[in-house]
Amino acid sequence: MTDFTKLPLQEKVDDIKLDELLRKLHRNDSISPSLVTTIAKHASALSESICTDYHTLNAILLRNESMIRKRWIKKSVAQRRDILLEAWPNMPEMHRPDYADVVNIFNKSHDPARLKEALVTKDKEGVPSDAKMWPFINLEDLLKPKCLLIFLNARGRNVPLIFAPTEEEFSPLARMSPCGPEPELVKYLLQFSNDPNPTVYGRVNPVTKPIDDYVADKNGYEYCARIGLQTLHIQQRILKFLVTCSKLILHDYTEDLLLHGPVQVEPPFADLDVRGDIGYTTFADTLAIAPYRNRASLDLTRLRAYFNALRTNARDHILALREDPSYFAEVFMDIADHTMKMAHNVNGQVHPALGGTEFLMVKAREVVIEAYTMFVAWEELYRIVDKLAETSREDCKDRFSSLMSELDCRARKTSRLLYPMLSGYAACAPNMRKFCFRQDDSEAVGSVVLIPSRIKTFEEFRVVSSFLCLAQKSDAVLSDATLYHLLDDMATLFRTSDTARNLMSARVSELFAHMSVVGECIMQHSVWCDTPQAYEIEKDAPHSHDEEFLEWLYHLDQCQLPVHSINPFRGKLAYPAHKIRNRSNVQSMRTAEANLDKFWEHVDTFYEQKTGVSQHEVIRRCILDGGKMQRTPPWKEPLGMRPKPAEHLEYVYQPFSTIFHNKTMQITGAFDRLAIEEKKKPKTKGVTNIPMIDQPADHAPPAIEETSKQTFALDKRAYRTMKALFHVTLSDNEEFPKAIKWDEFKRAMVRIGFAAEKLQGSAWQFTPCEALDVDRGIHFHEPHPDSDIPYIMARRFGRRLGRVYGWRSEMFRLS
């Protein structure tokens, strides 16, 4: 408890309530000596309440946590709602209610600059509303089965000090302005102690030594009393709420049974995994539980899974670009469709250079550079998190410190790579560029200018304004936490508004998913760094990433690529792999493959001439791990009208390039675009001439088939979906299905034995359960904006599943 005899003007204490005091502090009013004593008195009262409620909650959980979990899970949504509203009257309905005030600013001003103003910490006229002070206290999130239980476990089994440094991080619109040079206030500091005792926790003490000598450690820290008072205010209300919830759930327990019964074994935390709630989970669930969970550790398991999915997605993207002409054409045209040159000028005209040789050259380089850069970024993040998961902080403190610092450095570099990509592609996305016009045809890169009058709906205004904020990421005003919450708000908007979601292209949606994962990593690291466990860790160790790789990579800017041979706008990569196999289609496929091989051979040759190696080591390993590459053999007439389908068909596999000096290091690749983890495949060389029957290209290499014996008994809906993915047609009269419903594909994967998790944007991760005889997951993107899977894409899905798991059509049967 604060020693008030050491505080000024005891006889002139300002007799004001806490709300009025906080209002003064938020307005940044000058601090008088009497106001210092008022701050100390309110801090003492809040500390008393915090410590009492923490000990009560801790005693209840030590004895009754299993029963609380059991009862809460069994309650209906209506029963949970009644308890929450009784514990916190007028609790907001929706996720992130703090943005309701920002919405009001939008409605009144329709000025994009006001969004940034609303998000920046500044002097405020009054005390932030409850929705801003505790935005995570809302019915949408807490009615979910696990959120309240995670909240209780974290706050009841960890002392208040663990959360004190980061309370404001999860209340971004309630942050108090930084402490200024207040002559009276700088003489005192508010103490946060590891001991939840009101005699030391929340105590205001005079400064007795130089400020630099006050160093935070695992036992606690001292901080500005002005901001510290709001931290205590946030904590006091949280703990009071959780104690009330516990007592309402155990309403029939006596006080003695609640607080003095026998101590029970702590129930497994794994029971609180949100993955177990429903058939699939979403990345939004991860964001929703972030304010409730224990902040003393990073969720390395989940981060590792996300980065593993992203790195293998990026790896398979590279392999598909090298192997599949139709895939390369789609990516090339998609990138070209998101260029500033597509935006109209004041006369309603696109850029005159659009479609020219230089334009094609720039876009071709962009395809290669973006693919290689993103793979290296995700590979590095996965490597770091994987090592962290295996490193003990206690046994290897120096190594753990270095890895944590390296993770932060790498994540921030990746974010700096993604922010301009995301905001740039978003501004020029087909459904977004109507809000802008291009300024100058003479500029090499060009720029677009927003036209506010073209924004007709509130949802459009919110999306455009949010992307403007992301474009201004380099401003020091917006903190990591604020940007993290902005991404969360955007995700909520895209999830709940069709108008907003339809503005997003598939490319922008995918990049937004990537940025959200990186933002989650940065936020977790930032929060962890402010906990007592991290005080003794060196956080600013310098790290060097990518310099050698980037020096190698950007030599491509000097390369004159053979773009006319792969110009998809001229049909140079027309690839009818989804059509019936006949002489004409086979020749078209072979021509497209030859054009694509010529392009990549030129890229590899250029790098070898400039740098001495055709691929950087990390890219070389990526391609080698991909295994074999599919190439179409010459057409041969069928042996009969109805060929025997007894033997499984193979394809001619050939290397990507035949110009390397070291033939033993020859590079090959396979179309395995979205598998989660690698599998080593034996390499083959040369060409095998095998007669082809009249059917589309499909299926996995024989080496996988021979080891795949598992069969799946499925219901009619799942069976029909999987047969469509792996179907082989043998007749010109047999029609191809036009599309497969995404929900049917997702349902079929769950029936087979995968847990489905929706990341941000369109990305879905399918993770096998233990009963399924596979050791890896797989990653797919839901089609955007329509959720139907076109037939050609469905066949790619089937081919990926065949590559990764060795699945074939005959492995599925009706149950």
How many CA atoms does the CB half-sphere of 43 hold within 13 Å?
31
HEC sequence for 203-246: EEEECCCCHHHCCCECCEEEEEHHHHHHHHHHHHHHHHHHHHHH
pLDDT at 490 over 90: no
| Cα first-last separation, the chain | 70
**Three-state secondary-structure class, residue 449:** strand
pLDDT in tens, 679-697: 344 444 443 333 333 344 4
Higher-confidence residue of 66 and 665: namely 66
Enumerate residues 6+ apart whose C-beta is below 8 A from 510: 761, 762, 763, 781
CB under 8 A, 24+ apart: contacts of 234-237: 234/133, 234/134, 234/167, 234/168, 234/171, 235/46, 235/50, 235/160, 235/163, 235/164, 235/167, 236/46, 236/49, 236/50, 236/53, 237/133, 237/134
From 238, 260, 276, give the residue that closes a domain: 276
Can you give the pLDDT at residue 670? 37
Are 657 and 666 in contact by the 8 Å Cβ rule? The answer is: yes
Question: The whole model's pTM is what?
Answer: 0.79
Residue 713: strand pairing partners: 813
Enumerate residues 6+ apart whose C-beta is below 8 A from 211: none
Confidence of residue 667 (pLDDT cuts 50, 70, 90): very low
pLDDT in tens, 47-104: 999 999 999 999 999 999 999 999 999 999 999 999 999 999 999 999 889 877 666 6
Distance set, CA 718 to CA 42, 727, 732, 735, 738 (Å): 62, 14, 26, 20, 17
pLDDT at 279 over 70: no
pLDDT at 283 over 90: no
Can you give the pLDDT at residue 105? 64
Confidence of residue 666 (pLDDT cuts 50, 70, 90): very low
Q: Give the containing element (helix H, strand E) for 712.
A: strand 712-714
Q: Let me know if residue 785 belongs to a domain.
A: yes
Q: Which has the closest alpha carbon to 280: 767, 646, 727?
A: 767
Chain mean pLDDT for the chain? 81
Q: Let me know if residue 413 belongs to a domain.
A: no
Higher-confidence residue of 770 and 380: namely 380
Can you give the pLDDT at residue 391? 82
What distance in Å separates the CA atoms of residue 614 and residue 442, rounded to the nearest whole number? 35
**The domain containing residue 58 runs over which residues?**
13-95+109-186+226-276
Q: Let me know if residue 768 belongs to a domain.
A: yes
pLDDT at 662 over 50: no
Can you give the pLDDT at residue 478? 59
HEC sequence for 533-600: HHCCCCCCCCCCCCHHHHHHHHHHHHCCCCHHHCCHHHCCCCCCCCCCCCHHHHHHHHHHHHHHHHHH
pLDDT in tens, 313-324: 898 899 989 999
Q: Let me know if residue 603 belongs to a domain.
A: no
pLDDT at 568 over 70: yes
Can you give the pLDDT at residue 682? 43
> Quick one: tokens of 429?
């996305």
Q: Let me know if residue 498 belongs to a domain.
A: no
> Quick one: tokens of 346?
């004041």
What distance in Å separates the CA atoms of residue 37 and residue 24, rounded to the nearest whole number? 14
What distance in Å separates the CA atoms of residue 278 and residue 257, rounded to the nearest whole number? 33
| Mean pLDDT on 266-288 | 69
Q: Let me know if residue 294 belongs to a domain.
A: no
Q: Let me know if residue 80 belongs to a domain.
A: yes
From 252, 276, 300, give the residue that closes a domain: 276
- Identify which of 26-30, 414-418, 769-773 has the greatest average pLDDT: 414-418
Quick one: how many helices (H) and strands (E) in the chain?
Answer: 26, 15
Overall number of domains in the chain:
2
Residue type, 609: Q
Can you give the pLDDT at residue 692? 37
HEC sequence for 77-130: HHHHHHHHHHHCCCCCCCCCCCHHHHHHHHHHHCCHHHHHHHHCCCCCCCCCCH
Neighbours of 626 (CB within 10 A): 26
- Kind of pairing, strands 188-193 and 220-224? antiparallel
Poorest-pLDDT segment among 189-203, 237-251, 298-312, 765-779:
765-779
Is 174 exposed, middle or buried (CB count within 10 Å of its CB: 0-12, 13-18, 19+)? Answer: buried
What distance in Å separates the CA atoms of residue 231 and residue 229, rounded to the nearest whole number? 5
Dihedral angle sign, alpha carbons of residues 584, 587, 593, 594: negative
Which percentage of the chain shows pLDDT scores above 70? 79
From 236, 254, 276, give the residue that closes a domain: 276
pLDDT at 733 over 70: no
Poorest-pLDDT segment among 3-7, 647-651, 804-808:
647-651
Enumerate residues 6+ apart whose C-beta is below 8 A from 137: 88, 91, 92, 130, 238, 241
Q: Let me know if residue 726 belongs to a domain.
A: yes
Confidence of residue 596 (pLDDT cuts 50, 70, 90): very high
pLDDT in tens, 431-488: 998 888 887 766 555 577 878 888 888 888 888 888 887 776 544 455 777 778 888 8
Residue where the block lists tokens 């310099």: 547
